Amino acid sequence: MPERAIDTPHVAITGAAGYIGSRVLVELQDQHPDWELTAIDNFYRGDLRTVGGVEVQHVDIRNRDRLEDALDGADVVLHLAAISGVDDCDENPDLAYEVNVQGTENVAWFCRKTGAALAFPFSMAVIGDPQEFPITVDHPRDPINWYGRTKLLSERAIDTFADGAFPAHQFMISNLYGGHEVGGDLVSKGTVINFFLGRALAGETLTVYEPGTQSRNFVHVKDIARAYVLSAERLLDQREAGETGVEKFELASDEDPSVHEVAELVQSAAADHGIDVDVELVENPRAGEETLVDSFEVDTSRAARLLNWEATETVEATVRAALDSRQ
């Protein structure tokens, strides 16, 4: 790919009405108000029609012609559109394949034809049960559910599409938590910490899937959004320099408590606000399809070195702030 000067960067975001995508849009507008931004979503889950001054266009990434028209002129595509989560993918396997695999291939094919750079999250789900710690992007792949398999297929496709054609970043992201505001509206998602917070605020029992000792690494959505901005900056430089191929990064924090410990943290913080809730172990409906390791250390040195990124939010501060703001 030849070197190409970019006067005013044009960055496109798929899944821009969603949990991560909308926060990425906020961060991009804050950090780079001069950039041209294109936002698309099919509104399967997210329902934001505007973020800041940017309109979110109704585009389904499965429709390649509409997709390519919407992305036309983009220098970087931050690809966040997906059927996310184990349950949604299990309940809608055809849709998960069409969106997560075929839709991602449509985005990557656009990048291959135009030379646009690409950033894509392939999730910790691609590794299944970790075989060694700390986890890195070099860990063997062995997904144990359909969500992880669709992400693995997409990861491999981008490896192939990017070779000799465009620069790409792929992110192995740990478990998300936290909410954020867009235009005064709270944007959140039913991840485990957010789930516990919602139940605590409703005075309901915090139900923990057995055995409860399963550990997760948790990273805040705001930290992930910052990583995408840093990624876009690096990708623009790489594109201008004519670089191609994939770089992979681990995006995680240094917090990896068990799910039961998280529930107890929320219980304790709620008690400080005069809310008494119980914690109860319940039968695990994901038996055989859930990682059950009791530690989840992740090496994020690559993101620190090449993107100048690190997680700054903490679980306890987020939980307490959420309880403060919603009472």
Q: Give the position of tokens 């139940």.
A: 199
41 is written with which tokens?
């979503």
Q: Tell me the C-alpha to C-alpha distance, in Å, between residue 117 and each of 53, 91, 122, 131, 254.
A: 24, 32, 16, 32, 29
Integer-rounded Cα Rg, in Å, for the chain is 19
For the chain, give the mean pLDDT. 95
Query: Is residue 5 scored above 80 in pLDDT?
Result: no
Angle in degrees, CA 195, 197, 201, rounded to 5: 120
User: CA–CA separation, 168 vs 274, rounded Å?
Assistant: 48
312: helix, coil or strand?
coil
Closest CA to 251 of 135, 152, 160, 140: 135
Mean pLDDT of all residues in 282-294: 85
pLDDT tens-place string over residues 125-162? 999 989 899 999 999 999 999 999 999 999 999 999 99
Closest CA to 193 of 215, 210, 176: 176
**Listed range (74-83, 202-211, 306-315, 317-326) with the worst mean pLDDT:** 317-326
The class that CATH gives domain 180-216+254-296+312-326 is alpha beta
Question: What's the pLDDT at 38?
Answer: 98
Query: Is residue 1 scored above 50 in pLDDT?
Result: no
pLDDT tens-place string over residues 8-57? 999 999 999 999 999 999 999 999 999 999 999 999 988 899 999 899 99
User: CA–CA separation, 219 vs 171, rounded Å?
Assistant: 13
Q: Which residues contact 228 (CB under 8 A, 6 or more apart)?
A: 20, 24, 27, 78, 119
Query: pTM for the whole thing?
Result: 0.95
Fold classification of 10-176+219-251 (topology level): Rossmann fold (3.40.50)
Q: Are 275 and 203 in contact (CB under 8 A)?
A: yes
- Residue spans in the chain of domains classed CATH 3.40.50.720: 10-176+219-251
Q: DSSP letters along 8-24, please?
A: S-EEEEETTTSHHHHHH
Mean pLDDT of all residues in 266-275: 96
User: CA–CA separation, 305 vs 173, rounded Å?
Assistant: 17
114 is written with which tokens?
């135009």
- For 161, list phi and psi in degrees, rounded to 5: -65, -40
Mean pLDDT of all residues in 117-128: 95
Query: Is residue 182 scored above 60 in pLDDT?
Result: yes
- Residue spans in the chain of domains classed CATH 3.90.25.10: 180-216+254-296+312-326
